[in-house]
Amino acid sequence: MVLFSTLLGVVFLWQAADLLPGFVFDFIAFGWVLFVLDSLLTFVRPKVSYYLAFVLGILALSASLPQSAHWAFVQEGDLVPAGIFIAGAIAQVLLLILVPLHFLIQRRPTAPGLVQGK
């Protein structure tokens, strides 16, 4: 989901470049750079990456869901921006579900007498 969010960010930035004021675009581009760094961390420090992904998911949702312009895309049926918004929101919600689930599964002790790897 982290990699998907990063790739979706490229499409979002491409769509939003002409629509947003410079400082807003720069702020969003900085958030995307954080997703790129998180994607790289996924391969070298997965545990750190998952924590960062959780925080970035919260930040992305808290920044995008309250925006009435995003919901207007959906209401107007503007497919590309609405699709990007919906796909991004779903990806962030999945991150917020899957990251804690991953850590819960990792913390679950194995049953006594079971040998892992056999």
**In the chain, domain spans:** 2-105
pLDDT classification of 3: cutoffs 50, 70, 90: confident
Q: Estimate to the nearest angstrom the gap between the alpha carbon of 79 and the chain centroid.
A: 20
| Average pLDDT value for the chain | 85
Reported as a single tens digit per residue, the pLDDT across 34-55 is 999 999 999 999 999 999 999 9
As a whole number of angstroms, the distance between CA 89 and CA 84 comes to: 8
As a whole number of angstroms, the distance between CA 72 and CA 68 comes to: 6
Tokens representing 109?
Answer: 């002790």
Task: Say what the pTM is.
Answer: 0.77
As a whole number of angstroms, the distance between CA 33 and CA 26 comes to: 10
Reported as a single tens digit per residue, the pLDDT across 78-87 is 788 788 888 8
pLDDT classification of 59: cutoffs 50, 70, 90: very high
